[in-house]
């Protein structure tokens, strides 16, 4: 007999673990509310091990590299910055308070030069004191082309030689002064009134001078906060234990309840939900991210509702309409599409009313000064096909046309794309769905030559003001061939002028109000279709206390305050 | 990767088969199958699936819902999009219930999904068959450097972790025409298994008296190949291809399950099973229906393939 | 014999090189620019260029391929990142060398693979033997019908059915998690039970069918009848004259199947959320993390090619009849 061979029967598979990436550019702001009763809010004790169940691992442990709501929240456990956001629910959470510095910064020349003084008694986990030189070293890493891929604000605002490439390649940065071990002075390119908020960004974490080259901090951070990394298995687990060199007396923000934080990564989202619902054993001491749509029906019991927290994640999911492509260059066509989209089906595709609110304006509800209005109304938000058809006929596009919709290779995004496709079908608009892998999605749609007619994406503000929302998305002078965020490529003189006008306002409240009006002005041009405002909906273990959703971290549970009700369990 | 029906057993048929006698006639094969109750049931089920696939637009006209139409009224938005009613929303208007989160009709999607499964697996079988037979015969008939080149390519392709590679290629290719891509990728990694058998048998056949006799009487290469060799390979080709079809149906469903198969909104059984994964504890029917169709189709084809094989074996032994 | 072995090994190296080059070419063309990945969300064109320079992405393809090959034996640098030998690449999405990603997940994959292999060998061979001996009985017919069903059920379907019934409904088993044997042997066993069964079913059914037909063939062969006629006891003839020749082909197929297991484990590990190499491959494909996909492809090819050689050698050693022919 001859050796037998096989035709490989390729029945294969994977529950394609949905990548839970949000479309956010940064740690979003936004307000959130505790849905639960006394349960989640109950006091936490010091001690114990808090478990975190997660699907996706942290992008980076290096504070100069990571920049999203998830890591920003985590970084506060390990790193301290000159200032930081408050530790409280609601608006108090987004207020800037001193952290390493004694105050939120002093300026003598109207905001061009800023001086910060470090508190006494600050130490790294190594026992070495934290000096102004260490803060400077940490900040200057933002200029390193390989390392400084996180928060862009330091590079954008602080004066530096054009050729500067970070401390490892170009040596120390000459434009940040450290007259003594406690004082650090920043010179900005131009005055910036809110620099006190900027130094709360991750990039302002101290790194011991001379250290942190390459990816050293990604595997072993050097802690300045209340916890240090005890064990890190990338993609699998992360264990934080107390950093005994951190002195509670120097820190008004962090309660730092548990003795140990234990992350488990790479868990299937459905498995996380199952475990959180069951809440057995150590899972009673666990927190996790937003539940799957399929789990919503299962958490309606009174017992589970007590363990539920919900709020807004502070972002807007929208469809950008490329105004340089025909026939989307015609404002009536864009308005017709806005009118025709059935937002109810889009919201259902995104998880239903428990996981998303219907979006009508560009700015999400959490933005200060935002006006609640619906420029393209229809009964129950189901879309006004007749009205849309009329607009299309007026514009001369009553006959059929085809448009290509870019979407991320992620089940939820594809489901939304299909809902849009379905909603436009009665108008004889054929929507071709172009799926792009998640890793390069933003790169592709941000390259004007590769962008198609429309794209589904999202935007989160870096702080809850229209300033971090409307100008980056609609300022026509910001359109760049690569890394473009103005997806509609709208370049409207009226909008541009208004943006400049608001930027000159010194009164923050007046500016926010003006952004609310600008929102309306832009939506008349219909460059985007606001789809939904996503919500967070999470279950916490029965022994979790001190939990609240933090506005600054895309509605995540504030890690510096959460703990166990009974640390002995 | 061999978790599906494999052809481990097939090669035994091949080289050992004395191809001198005429292969079992199709007629006798059919009688054997129709006499076996199990095989008959399989045949009937496959008939239904094929009919569904062919008449999909007609059937959905009767059932009232197309495969893409949303039905928001059939789902509960406040419960994450769970279908209203028991058994995943099975009702007079939605015979198999609806898909959570959008209310698309499952019956229509099963019917249209059958189209995808059958078209892709049959096309892949055809392409694999042509490639395998042509290249296998070339290698076996001409030997020498032709054989060397083809055999090395086969070794090379068989060394590939086909499943991983197919997923990787499909996930990085632009959406384009998915069904065609699927057929090409599946066939590219499938043909060597058939070609190997064909090559071996062609080599044996080429040395037999009747082939040498034909050559001696001045027949051209093409005549020898088409008149003398090919007819004698018929049995092996039929057996290998019938056993390959269920494998390809499984492969297509598997790739769609992994998210690299046909693009949305096209319905496919594998893709339906993939989206049902997170729902199975609250809406088990969403998983059970496409799962059952996929399983029964693969099972029926495997059973029938098995019967055909033993039918041909007996025919040859007789 | 030595010449034969050396010749085969030479062929192996060539095939692996070809697989390497082919994989590299394909991914080079298809995969997203690694510079873009490293560059992150706040990327600028200047930064992409400087990253490309640092990584040598501006160099010609063949130079890069050579660097990749060299890295496997000598290690290499990616900018300021060092990747020590054997460097199969560096994932800029997880910030780890691919080799350390693989070694970290190897124990889980080995546990899944070995457990399933033991299960399917036992179930398949014993089931097939019994069926052959009791050929034609109800046992034989039931077992063979089940085997047909078993080869037809896609393993992800089986996995979900088992999980629904055993974990969600009956709550007999926990959700599988990669618990180490040392920490808790009971939970370890319970966790891996479903993955083992799911991975093993297809093979077990196939092996049962093969064993059965092989044993039946041998039982009807002349030398077997001669042995019996010479008066050897029936259990001895079974063992010496029927089992060995009937199981030789099983051994060889097993070698190949085991070597090719990485692909099957991909499905099983992912459905059950076990962090092995298969799940890593699936995750990397979802994220389009090219260095990882490429390394897993190469690793899998390596196993298949080596498996082939081992099988050939084993076969030569086991079956006296083919020794001359295959040499």
pLDDT tens by residue, C92-131: 777 788 998 899 888 889 999 999 999 999 999 999 988 9
Task: State whether residue B253 sits within 8 Å of chain A by CB.
Answer: yes
What's the maximum distance between 2 C-alpha atoms anywhere in chain C? 87
Which residues of chain B are within 8 Å of residue A2 when distances are taken between CB atoms?
11, 15, 200
Q: Is the pLDDT of residue A150 over 70?
A: yes
Which residues of chain A are within 8 Å of residue C43 when distances are taken between CB atoms?
149, 443, 482-483
CA atoms of C264 and C281, how far apart (whole Å) = 12
Q: Å from B116 to nearest chain C CA? A: 17
CA atoms of C176 and C272, how far apart (whole Å) = 6
Q: Is the pLDDT of residue A505 over 60?
A: yes
Q: What proportions of chain A, in percent to the nearest 5, are helix, strand and coil?
A: 30, 20, 50
**Cα dihedral value A51, A55, A60, A61, nearest 10:** 10
pLDDT digits (tens, 9 = 90+) for A435-480: 887 777 887 888 888 889 999 998 888 777 788 889 889 999 878 7
Query: What local confidence, expressed as pLDDT, does residue A41 receive?
Result: 57
Q: Give, for all 318 residues of chain B, the pLDDT tens digit.
A: 333 333 333 333 333 344 444 445 677 777 777 778 888 999 999 999 999 999 989 998 988 888 998 988 889 888 888 999 888 888 888 889 999 999 999 999 999 999 998 999 999 999 999 999 999 999 988 888 999 899 888 888 887 777 887 887 887 777 667 889 899 989 998 899 899 889 988 888 888 888 888 888 888 888 888 888 888 888 888 888 888 899 899 888 888 888 788 888 888 898 899 888 888 888 999 999 999 999 999 999 988 888 888 877 776 655
Q: Å from C320 to nearest chain A CA? A: 12
Of C96, C249, C270, the CB nearest to A4: C249
A234/C41 touch (CB, cutoff 8 Å), yes or no:
no
Measured in degrees and rounded to the nearest 5, phi and psi for residue C76 equal -160, 175
Q: Å from C151 to nearest chain B CA? A: 5
Q: Please write down the HEC assignment for all residues of chain B.
A: CECCCCCCCHHHHHHHCCCCCCCCCHHHHHHHHHHCHHHHHHHHHHHHHHHHHHCHHHHHHHHCCCCCCCCHHHEEHHHCCEECCCCCCCCCCCCCCECCCCCCEHHHHHHHHHHHHHHHHHHHHHHHHHHHHHHHHHHHHHCHHHHHHHHHHHHHHHHCCHHHHHHHHHHHCCCCCHHHHHHHHHHHHHHHHHHHHHHHHHHHHHCCHHHHHHHHCCCCHHHHHHHHHHHHHHHHHHHHHHHHHHHHHHHHHHHHHCCCCCCCCCCCHHHHHHHHHHHCCCCHHHHHHHHHHHHHHHHHHHHHHHHHHHHHHHHHHC
3-state SS class at C136: coil
pTM, entire model? 0.84
User: Across chain A, what does the average pLDDT equal?
Assistant: 86
Of B6, B77, B265, the CB nearest to A7: B6
Task: State whether residue B198 sits within 8 Å of chain A by CB.
Answer: no
Query: What local confidence, expressed as pLDDT, does residue C274 receive?
Result: 85
C-interface mutation test, from B157, B168, B306, most C Cβ less than 10 A away: B168
Q: What DSSP element (H or E) covers C90?
A: strand C90-91
Which residues of chain A are within 8 Å of residue C151 when distances are taken between CB atoms?
9
Task: State whether residue B107 sits within 8 Å of chain A by CB.
Answer: no
C203/B2 touch (CB, cutoff 8 Å), yes or no:
yes
Structure token pair of residue C73: 């034996």
- Tracing tokens 């009134």 back to the chain, one arrives at A193
Which residues of chain B are within 8 Å of residue C220 when distances are taken between CB atoms?
none
A482/C45 touch (CB, cutoff 8 Å), yes or no:
yes
Of C81, C104, C273, the CB nearest to A268: C273
Q: Å from C182 to nearest chain A CA? A: 18
Which residues of chain C are within 8 Å of residue A152 when distances are taken between CB atoms?
42
CA atoms of A217 and A236, how far apart (whole Å) = 18
Looking at per-residue pLDDT, the higher value among C123 and A508 belongs to C123
CA atoms of B292 and B113, how far apart (whole Å) = 13
Query: What local confidence, expressed as pLDDT, does residue C325 receive?
Result: 42
Q: Please report, for chain A, how many H helices and E strands are present, in that order.
A: 18, 20
Reported for A519-522, long-range contacts at CB under 8 A and 24+ positions apart, including other chains, are A519/A361, A519/A362, A519/A363, A519/A370, A519/A371, A519/A466, A519/A470, A520/A361, A520/A371, A520/A373, A520/A375, A521/A494, A521/A495, A522/A362, A522/A470, A522/A474, A522/A490, A522/A495
| Residue ranges of E strands in A71-182 | 83-85, 96-98, 106-107, 113-117, 176-180
Of B161, B167, B280, the CB nearest to C160: B280
ipTM over 0.95: no
Q: Å from B220 to nearest chain C CA? A: 32
Of B5, B161, B295, the CB nearest to C263: B161
Structure token pair of residue A253: 């923000």
Closest chain C CA to residue B259: C286
C36/A3 touch (CB, cutoff 8 Å), yes or no:
no
Q: Averaged over C257-276, what is the pLDDT? A: 83
The winner for highest mean pLDDT among A29-33, B92-96, C308-312 is: B92-96
Query: What local confidence, expressed as pLDDT, does residue A228 receive?
Result: 96
Among A39-48, A373-382, C210-219, name the one with the lowest average pLDDT.
A39-48
Q: Averaged over A102-129, what is the pLDDT? A: 92
Of A8, A14, A297, the CB nearest to B1: A8
pLDDT digits (tens, 9 = 90+) for C139-169: 888 888 899 888 888 888 999 899 888 887 8
Query: What local confidence, expressed as pLDDT, does residue A524 receive?
Result: 95
In DSSP terms, A404 is beta-bridged to: A432
Query: What local confidence, expressed as pLDDT, does residue A25 receive?
Result: 35
Measured in degrees and rounded to the nearest 5, phi and psi for residue B23 equal -65, 160
Q: Is the pLDDT of residue A64 over 70?
A: yes
pLDDT digits (tens, 9 = 90+) for C219-254: 777 666 676 666 666 666 666 666 777 777 788 788
Query: What local confidence, expressed as pLDDT, does residue C84 receive?
Result: 81
Nearest-CA neighbor of B250 among B228, B268, B226? Answer: B268
Looking at per-residue pLDDT, the higher value among C167 and C43 belongs to C167
A442/C41 touch (CB, cutoff 8 Å), yes or no:
yes
Contact yes or no for C81/C277 (Cβ under 8 A): no
Q: Is the pLDDT of residue C326 over 70?
A: no
Nearest-CA neighbor of A512 among A502, A522, A499, A504? Answer: A502
Of A168, A213, A271, the CB nearest to C273: A271
Q: Averaged over C31-35, what is the pLDDT? A: 69
Q: Averaged over A54-68, what is the pLDDT? A: 86
3-state SS class at A286: strand
Query: What local confidence, expressed as pLDDT, does residue B315 receive?
Result: 66
């Amino acid at each position: 007999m001859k050796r037998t061979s096989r035709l490989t029967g390729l029945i294969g598979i994977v529950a394609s673990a949905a990548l839970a990436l949000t479309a956010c550019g940064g740690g979003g702001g936004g307000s959130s509310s505790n849905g639960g009763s006394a349960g989640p809010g109950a006091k936490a004790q010091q001690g114990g091990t808090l478990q975190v169940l997660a699907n996706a691992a942290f992008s980076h442990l290096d504070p100069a590299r990571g920049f999203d709501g998830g890591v920003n929240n985590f970084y506060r456990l390990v790193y301290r910055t000159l200032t930081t956001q408050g530790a409280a629910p609601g608006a108090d959470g987004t207020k800037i308070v001193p952290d390493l510095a004694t105050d939120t910064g002093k300026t003598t020349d109207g905001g061009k030069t800023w001086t910060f003084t470090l508190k006494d008694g600050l130490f790294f986990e190594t026992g070495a004191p934290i000096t102004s030189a260490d803060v400077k070293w940490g900040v200057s890493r933002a200029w390193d082309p390989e390392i400084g891929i996180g928060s862009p604000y330091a590079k954008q605002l602080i004066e530096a030689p054009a050729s500067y490439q970070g401390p490892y390649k170009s040596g120390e940065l000459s434009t940040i002064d450290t007259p003594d071990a406690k004082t650090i002075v920043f010179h900005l390119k131009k005055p910036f009134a809110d620099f006190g908020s900027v130094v709360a960004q991750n990039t302002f974490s101290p790194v011991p001078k001379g250290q942190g080259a390459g990816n050293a901090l990604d595997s072993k951070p050097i802690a300045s906060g209340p916890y240090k990394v005890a064990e890190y298995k990338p993609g699998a687990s992360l264990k934080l234990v107390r950093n005994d060199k951190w002195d509670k007396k120097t820190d008004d923000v962090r309660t730092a309840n548990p003795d140990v934080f234990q992350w488990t990564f790479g868990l299937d989202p459905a498995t996380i939900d199952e475990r959180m619902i069951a809440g057995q054993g150590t899972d009673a001491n666990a927190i996790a991210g937003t539940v799957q749509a399929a789990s919503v029906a299962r958490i309606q019991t009174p017992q589970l509702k007590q363990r539920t927290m919900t709020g807004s994640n502070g972002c807007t999911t929208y469809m950008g309409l490329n105004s340089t492509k025909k026939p989307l260059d015609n404002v009536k066509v864009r308005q017709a599409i806005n009118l025709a989209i059935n937002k109810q089906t889009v919201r259902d595709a995104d998880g239903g009313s428990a996981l998303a609110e219907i979006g009508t304006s560009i700015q999400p509800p959490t933005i200060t000064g935002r006006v609640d209005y619906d420029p393209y109304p229809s009964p129950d938000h189901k879309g006004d096909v007749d009205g849309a058809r009329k607009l299309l006929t007026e514009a001369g596009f009553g006959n059929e046309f085809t448009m290509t919709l870019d979407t991320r290779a992620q089940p939820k995004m594809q489901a939304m794309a299909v809902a849009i496709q379905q909603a436009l079908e009665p108008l004889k608009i054929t929507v071709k769905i172009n799926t792009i892998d998640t890793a390069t999605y933003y790169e592709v749609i941000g390259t004007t030559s590769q962008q198609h007619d429309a794209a589904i994406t999202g935007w989160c503000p870096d702080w809850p003001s229209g300033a971090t929302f409307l100008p980056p998305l609609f300022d026509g002078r910001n359109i760049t061939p690569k890394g473009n965020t103005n997806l509609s490529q709208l370049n409207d003189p009226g909008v541009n002028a208004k943006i400049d006008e608001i930027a000159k306002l010194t009164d923050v409240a007046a500016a926010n109000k003006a952004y609310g009006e600008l929102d309306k002005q832009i939506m008349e041009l219909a460059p985007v279709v606001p789809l939904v405002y996503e919500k967070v909906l999470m279950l916490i273990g029965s022994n979790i206390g001190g939990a609240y959703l933090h506005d600054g971290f895309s509605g995540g549970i504030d890690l510096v305050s959460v703990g166990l009700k009974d640390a002995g369990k | 990767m061999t978790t599906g029906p494999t052809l481990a057993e097939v090669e035994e048929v091949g080289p050992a088969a004395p191809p001198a006698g005429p292969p079992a006639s199709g007629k006798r094969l059919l009688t054997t199958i129709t006499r076996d109750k199990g095989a008959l049931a399989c045949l009937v089920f496959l008939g239904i699936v094929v009919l569904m696939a062919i008449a999909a637009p007609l059937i959905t006209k009767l059932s009232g819902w197309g495969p893409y139409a949303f039905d928001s009224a059939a789902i509960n938005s406040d419960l994450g999009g769970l279908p209203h009613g028991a058994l995943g929303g099975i009702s007079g208007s939605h015979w198999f219930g609806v898909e959570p989160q959008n209310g698309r009709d499952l019956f229509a999607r099963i019917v249209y999904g059958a189209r995808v499964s059958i078209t892709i697996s049959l096309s892949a079988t055809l392409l694999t068959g042509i490639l395998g037979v042509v290249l296998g015969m070339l290698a076996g008939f001409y030997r020498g450097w032709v054989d060397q080149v083809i055999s090395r390519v086969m070794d090379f392709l068989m060394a590939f972790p086909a499943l991983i590679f197919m997923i990787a290629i499909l996930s990085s290719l632009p959406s384009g025409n998915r069904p065609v891509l699927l057929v090409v990728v599946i066939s590219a990694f499938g043909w060597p298994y058939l070609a190997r058998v064909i090559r071996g048998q062609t080599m044996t056949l080429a040395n037999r008296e009747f082939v040498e006799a034909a050559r001696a009487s001045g027949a051209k290469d093409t005549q020898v190949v088409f008149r003398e060799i090919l007819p004698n390979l018929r049995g092996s080709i039929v057996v290998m291809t019938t056993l390959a079809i269920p494998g390809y149906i499984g492969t297509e469903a598997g790739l769609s399950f992994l998210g690299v198969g046909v693009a949305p909104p096209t319905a496919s059984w594998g893709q339906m099973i993939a989206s049902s994964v997170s729902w199975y504890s609250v809406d088990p029917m969403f998983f059970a229906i496409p799962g059952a169709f996929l399983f029964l189709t693969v099972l029926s084809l495997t059973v029938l393939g098995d019967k055909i094989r033993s039918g041909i074996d007996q025919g040859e032994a007789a | 014999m030595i010449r034969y072995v050396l010749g085969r090994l030479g062929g192996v190296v060539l095939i692996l090189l070809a697989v390497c080059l082919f994989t590299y070419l394909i991914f080079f063309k298809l995969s997203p620019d690694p510079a873009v990945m490293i560059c992150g969300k706040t990327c600028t064109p200047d930064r992409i260029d400087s990253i490309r320079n640092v990584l040598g992405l501006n160099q010609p393809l063949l130079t890069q391929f050579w660097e990749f090959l060299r890295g496997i034996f000598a290690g290499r640098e990616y900018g300021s990142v060092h990747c020590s030998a054997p460097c199969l690449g560096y994932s800029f999405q997880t910030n780890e060398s691919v080799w350390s990603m693989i070694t970290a997940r190897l124990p889980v994959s080995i546990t899944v693979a070995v457990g399933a292999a033991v299960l399917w060998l036992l179930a398949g061979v014993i089931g097939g033997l019994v069926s052959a001996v009791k050929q034609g009985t109800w046992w034989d017919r039931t077992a063979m019908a089940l085997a047909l069903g078993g080869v037809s059920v896609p393993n992800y379907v089986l996995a979900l059915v088992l999980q629904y019934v055993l974990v969600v409904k009956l709550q007999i088993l926990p959700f599988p998690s990669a618990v180490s044997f040392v920490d808790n042997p009971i939970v370890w066993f319970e966790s891996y039970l479903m993955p083992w069964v799911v991975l093993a079913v297809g093979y077990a059914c196939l092996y049962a069918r093969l064993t059965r037909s092989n044993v039946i063939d041998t039982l009807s062969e002349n030398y077997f009848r001669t042995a019996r006629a010479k008066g050897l006891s029936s259990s001895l003839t079974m063992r010496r004259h029927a089992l060995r020749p009937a199981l030789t082909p099983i051994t060889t197929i097993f070698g190949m199947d085991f070597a090719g297991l990485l692909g099957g484990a991909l499905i099983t590990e992912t459905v059950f959320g076990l962090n092995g190499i298969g799940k890593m491959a699936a995750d990397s494909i979802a994220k389009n993390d090219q260095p990882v996909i490429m390394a897993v492809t190469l690793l899998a090819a390596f196993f298949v090619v080596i498996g082939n050689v081992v099988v050939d050698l084993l076969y030569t050693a086991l079956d006296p009849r083919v020794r001359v022919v295959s040499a």
